[in-house]
Amino acid sequence: MAEPRSDSADVLIIGAGVYGCALAYFLSSFGRDVLVVDADDIGAGASGANAGNLHLQLSPFSHADKSREWVEAFVRNLPLFLDALELWRQLVGELAGNLELRCPGGLMVAQTADQLARLRDKVALEQSQGLDVHLIDGAQLRALAPYLSESVIAASYCPQEGMANALGAVVALADGARRNGARFLLHAPVKRVQESGGTFAVDTPRGTLHGRNLVVAAGSSSADVAALAGLDIPLAQRVIQIVATEPCERFIDHLVYHGEARLTLKQAANGNVIIGGGWTAAVDRVFARPAVLHESLRGSLAVAHAVVPSLACVNVIRSWAGPNVYTPDGNPILGAVPGRPGLWLAVCNTYGFTLGPLCALLVAQAITGRATAYDLDRYSIARFAGAALRA
């Protein structure tokens, strides 16, 4: 593992997940000197553990406990999601390596009349914000997705949705950043953050790093890292798990959701079927690491088999768990910290993989004084009345 050439940089980034690596890629593309520090390895947290779905539709299980006003406010962010997907397509042409990006479309299925009614309401909200999504049923649905169970009576179809190799994409972003001159210090957990004379000092077991700008982009650890800089940010976290089957002949063409139950499902480029949906995992008490819950594994497979019956004939070869982060309003936290010159946030939400590169680009543009396509005040930490600057 190569050591950084220096202990200082114009921009220090804490976190080597999709947000941190994308920030390093864009900032180094803009000619800035960048140093990324992480407690583990590239993509070792949520960025490498997630299913790699590129979402545009609103997943019911992600907002089942939210008010109508919350949902309507969140759906107004759909233009951000559409631009995020377009940026993913652009990155395929810029980055080396195979991101395995495919956009065959997404199907959110309904098996009951009540679920179908909720899909109709969801589709109307999404269409009001310009999303290309519509309901299909009967012969049209069977022709598009013959692998679905006869119990599926309809689906909302969004032809733009897709998927990528999550860990492969994060590694490709890091490699691109390195080619631009960015440096990485890995396996170096941040222990203390100090600020003096317009410069930040970040203490790690492998030395103290210095930078004029400091970006907290540590994924599920962002709240803990921000606290070291004297900042309270409102983040909730759940540990969830994912299942992978053995490789098999391709027969699932879409990103599949469920209109009520916890399910996301797709077939990867190598033939593995990846089954997710936010099923609760555990934390191992000995190693303090995410751990798979057998009851969630069984529940996840039961829903998947009910929607795609032929999966019952395919062997499961792996299941893993990782963290997922939630902000109170479902939106990322981006941009400058008011009253703290040089301190920036690039904090993900539950759709962090989809939005990661675009959010990173917006923050990189703000750091370098470039115009941004979105007003970052909307995503500022200042929107949370309970957030407190302690320094």
Q: Could you count the other beta carbons within 10 Å of the beta carbon of residue 290?
A: 20
User: What is the DSSP-derived secondary structure letter of residue 206?
Assistant: T
SS3 readout for the chain? CCCCCCCEEEEEEECCCHHHHHHHHHHHHCCCCEEEECCCCCCCCHHHHCCCEECCCCCHHHCCCCCHHHHHHHHCCHHHHHHHHHHHHHHHHHCCCCCCCECCCEEEEECCHHHHHHHHHHHHHHHHCCCCCEEEEHHHHHHHCCCCCCCCCEEEEECCCEECCHHHHHHHHHHHHHHCCCEEECCCCCCEEEEECCEEEEEECCEEEEEEEEEECCHHHHHHHHHHCCECCCCEEEEEEEEEECCCCCCCCCEEEECCCCCEEEECCCCCEEEEEEEECEECCCCCCEECCHHHHHHHHHHHHHHCHHHHHCCEEEEEEEEEEECCCCCCEEEECCCCCCEEEEECCCCHHHHHHHHHHHHHHHHCCCCCCCCHHHHCHHHCCCCCECC
What is the DSSP pairing of strand 134-137 with strand 207-216? Answer: unpaired
Residue indicated by tokens 């480029």: 269
Alpha carbon 297 to its chain centroid, in Å, reads: 22
What the block records as the tokens of 138 is 């009967």
Q: What is the pLDDT of residue 387?
A: 57
CATH superfamily of 103-161+236-326: D-Amino Acid Oxidase, subunit A, domain 2 (3.30.9.10)
Instruction: Output the pLDDT for position 60.
Output: 77
Smallest CA-to-CA distance from 1 within 206, 218, 287 is with 206
Domain residues of the chain, as ranges?
A: 8-48+167-234+329-383, 103-161+236-326
Cα dihedral 89/272/240/78 (nearest 10): 30
The DSSP code for 187 is: S
Query: Each residue's pLDDT tens digit in the chain (391 positions)?
Result: 444 447 999 999 999 999 999 999 999 999 999 999 999 999 998 888 889 999 999 987 777 788 889 888 889 899 999 999 999 999 999 999 889 999 999 999 999 999 999 999 999 999 999 999 999 999 999 999 999 999 999 999 999 999 999 999 999 999 999 999 999 999 999 999 999 988 999 999 999 999 999 999 999 999 999 999 999 999 998 899 999 999 999 999 999 999 999 999 999 999 999 999 999 999 888 887 889 999 999 999 999 999 999 999 999 999 999 988 889 998 999 999 999 999 999 998 878 999 999 999 999 999 999 999 999 999 999 999 655 554 4
Question: What's the pLDDT at 385?
Answer: 66
Place of tokens 């993900």: 348
* Under 8 Å between Cβ of 336 and 364: no
220: Cβ contacts below 8 Å, ≥ 6 apart: 45, 46, 235, 237, 323, 324, 325
How many CA atoms does the CB half-sphere of 69 hold within 13 Å?
A: 0
- Beta strands 53-54 and 255-258: pairing type? unpaired
Q: Say if residues 170 and 352 touch (Cβ distance below 8 Å).
A: no
C-alpha of 171 from chain center: 15
Give the pLDDT confidence score for residue 369 in this predicted structure: 98
187: left (phi over 0), alpha (psi -120 to 50) or beta: left
Which CATH architecture fits 8-48+167-234+329-383?
3-Layer(bba) Sandwich (3.50)
For residue 284 the two structure tokens come to: 């191992």
Amino acid in position 282: A
For residue 137, what are the β-bridge partners? 154
* Longest distance between any two alpha carbons in the chain, whole Å: 68
The reported pTM is 0.94
